[in-house]
Amino acid sequence: MSITVEVGLLSGKTATVTAGLDEQVATLKARAQSTLSIGEGQLLDSSGSRLHAHALIKDANLKNGDSLTFYIKKTQVQSSLGSFAAILADGSIVTWGQGDLGGDSSAVQDQLRHVQQIQSSSCAFAAIRDDGSVVTWGNAEDGGDSSSVQDQLTNVQQIQASSSAFAAILGDGSVVTWGRAGDGGDSSAVQDQLKNVQRIQATKFAFAAIRDDGSVVTWGHPYQGGDSNRVQDQLRDVQKIQASGSNFAAILGDGSVVTWGLRAGDSSAVQHQLKNVQQIQASISAFAAILGDGSVVTWGRADDGGDSSAVQDQLKNVQQIQASRGAFAAILGDGSVVTWGRAGDGGDSSAVQDELNNVQRIQATKFAFAAIIDDGSVVTWGHAGYGGDSRAVQHQLTNVQQIQASARAFAAVTDDGSIVTWGDADRGGDSSEVRNQLPSSCCAEPGHDQLLRQHTSIDTSAKLSQLNDWFSPERVEQRELQKIRRRPIESPKTTRLLSAKSVPDLRRSLTRMGMTNRWTAISGAKDRSRATAAMAQMRELIYSSDPIPDLACYDLGIMEVEVSSSRAKVDHCLRASNTIASGFKIPSLD
């Protein structure tokens, strides 16, 4: 017996594919790739959840007539203390940097196929493949050897890492750990409590898991956050957890904060100010919290950024904060940047302050920062040997979309998928040995930002940058949580949203309503009809050319040009760009 499903790209291009109930999802995926003439990617069900490649069709809850989505991935980069690992579009992995810190993956290279996510400890990597299995490499004692738990690592959804251990969340909400026992690699003391886990955060030597009821389970080094007994009665309705080197800070549903770990992370001196907290960032021994009004509260070791009094009057309308080892950098609503903390760690940005305008995102090594400007250029400051000096590669740093950092080096991914590295050559700053394995701007098709900039009559950079920020995971999660509290009752079906206490709860409610996160995020709609109407308006803009160009709302509404092998289609994409860029209305960022 077989079923027939529709598999579509977010551009609207679809294909009808048939598969037997006893065949694997991988077979269905391969037929869709062949029919649609596309490369590697993820196959998602109607609710937006990833379908595991090796699951049987009959076990994947697929029905005749279902509509599936094929999501095409871009290059992703992850880092350990001294190396990098890049997931290419085809799901393969390229590593570089210090070999014993994960820069050498040759021992498992044949297993590194169809990789979806990567996480890293200080000296090892763990990759989740599309069948939910895990491949590890790097220093064995720091989690690079997972052989003792390999048979348990099935249907893995997420992985988090401390300095020397890993914790994996399985599909049933249970947790598997490995690595150095004292750093969280041994969770046997709390194993019976690790059920229905939604998210995990880690200090250098301990873990904290948020369960679906908002409670928290901790393990690892007791003085580094692994023992939360002192505050356990306060850890209720926990929404997020942030970690410094040795302390945890949990944001509760009412916007208050609970901290535990070493004394340096004690927030009692500023507890009365920690109200309506939206985000928290941490250096090695200090925290900075963004409040609902855009102001900032800091605590912890003063030298490491716990004292922001010197710049407090400038910290208004703060949108994002990034931290190096001992300093913070805050992006304000106007795109300017305010820094504080240890000057040598990037806490003094005066040398480049005039260049820090229209900043979209910031990344940090141990002692330096790198900021992405809205035109795709990059500004760096801090310790030169740790990536603070990017002059040697500045000419290559154009149309940058994301930056990842090891302790001493940066790796930037441009809009065509190519990678530019700088900083300590031995710690990942020199990727020349694997350059022929990485995407290259000389050979890759231009990405959507580049095409829109080159072929539109209006300035699209600001809109694209705002869209990237609007649909970032942090902003999406923040809006979803706000909807839980503010969404009015419009129909009996929406009443279940009001009882949701976490993002996973909300997503489950939306799925039951037949709405995907993508529709909700694009439209900001309060019911399915509004989401449908918003998508229809978007498609009308996208498909204004004839023949239909491969233009799409990709990944929660970010505009993407999907360049096909047909030059005619590319030409139509370019002509349609003006319509898209001028017609897309950016939601209010308030």
pLDDT at position 10 is 61
Residue of higher predicted confidence among 508 and 497:
508
- List, in order, residues 6 or more apart from 239 with CB less than 8 Å away: 210, 214, 251, 252, 253, 481, 502
pLDDT at 485: 38
Average pLDDT (487-492) is: 38
How many Cα atoms within 13 Å fall on the side-chain side of residue 235?
22
Rounded average pLDDT over 486-513: 42
**31-35, 123-127, 184-188: least confident range:** 31-35
**pLDDT band for position 590 (50/70/90)?**
very low
Q: Using one digit for the tens of pLDDT, what is the confidence trace for 20-65?
A: 998 888 888 888 887 877 766 778 887 767 787 778 888 888 888 8
Distance of CA 194 to the CA centre of its chain: 24
**Percent of the chain whose pLDDT exceeds 70:** 72
Answer for the pair 490, 529: CB distance below 8 angstroms, yes or no.
no
Distance (Å, whole) CA 61 – CA 81: 41
According to DSSP, residue 303 is labeled G
Domain range annotation of the chain = 2-72, 448-583
Residues paired with residue 451 on neighbouring β-strands, in sequence order: none
Mean model confidence pLDDT for the chain: 78
Query: Mean pLDDT throughout 226-230?
Result: 95
The SS3 call for residue 296 is strand
Collect all residues with Cβ–Cβ distance below 8 Å to 21 and sequence separation of at least 6. Answer: 1, 2, 3, 56, 57, 58
**Average pLDDT score over residue span 297-307:** 96
> At residue 571, does pLDDT exceed 90?
no
> Is 2-72 in CATH node 3.10.20.90?
yes
Query: Does the structure show a pLDDT above 90 at 290?
Result: yes
Q: Is the pLDDT of residue 130 over 80?
A: yes
**Section 531-557 average pLDDT:** 37
209 sits in which H/E element: strand 206-211
Of residues 71 and 65, more confidently modeled: 65
Return the residue matching tokens 């052989």. Answer: 147
Q: What is the mean pLDDT of residues 466-481?
A: 48
Q: pLDDT tens digits for 318-360?
A: 999 999 999 999 999 899 999 999 999 999 999 999 999 999 8
Region of 489 (left: φ > 0; alpha: ψ -120 to 50; beta: rest) is beta
Q: DSSP 3-state assignment of 367?
A: coil
Edge-to-edge order in the sheet of strand 76-79: 76-79, 83-87, 93-97
> Which of 5-9, 149-153, 493-497, 584-588 bottoms out in mean pLDDT, i.e. has the lowest?
584-588
Strands 67-72 and 2-8: parallel
The answer to whether residues 303 and 340 touch, using CB atoms and an 8 Å cutoff, is: no
Work out whether strand 409-414 and strand 156-161 pair parallel, antiparallel, or are unpaired.
unpaired
Of 197, 204, 89, 187, nearest to 142 (Cα)? 204
For every residue of 518-571, which 3-state class applies, written as one string?
HHHHHHCCCCHHHHHHHHHHHHHHHCCCCCCCCEEEECCCEEEECCCCCHHHHH
Closest C-alpha among 49, 11, 29, 98 to residue 423: 98
Average pLDDT over residues 303-310: 96
What whole-number distance in Å separates Cα of residue 344 and Cα of residue 506?
43
List Cβ neighbours of 275 (8 Å cut-off, separation of 6 or more).
255, 256, 291
| SS3 category, 177 | strand
How far is residue 499's CA from residue 342's CA, in Å, rounded to a whole number? 44
What the block records as the tokens of 97 is 């940097």
- pLDDT(182) > 70: yes
Whole-Å CA distances, 327 to 5, 234, 264, 347 = 52, 29, 15, 5
The percentage of residues in the chain with a pLDDT greater than 90, rounded to a whole number, is: 53
With a cut of 70, say whether residue 388 has pLDDT above it.
Answer: yes
Can you tell me the distance from the alpha carbon of 279 to that of 477, in angstroms, rounded to the nearest whole number?
11
Could you give the 3-state DSSP secondary structure of residue 205? coil
- Taking the CA atoms of 519, 520, 522 and 524 in sequence, report the sign of the dihedral they define: positive
Q: Average pLDDT for residues 169-174, to the nearest whole number?
A: 94
Give residue 428's pLDDT: 92
CA distances from 512 to 49, 356, 455, 517 (A): 13, 45, 42, 12
Give me the half-sphere count of Cα atoms (radius 13 Å) on the Cβ side of residue 17.
Answer: 28
CA distances from 482 to 209, 225, 271, 474 (A): 22, 29, 23, 12
Q: Return the pLDDT at 60.
A: 86
Q: Does residue 511 register a pLDDT over 60?
A: no
Mean pLDDT of 128-149: 95
The answer to whether 121 touches 138, Cβ cutoff 8 Å, is yes
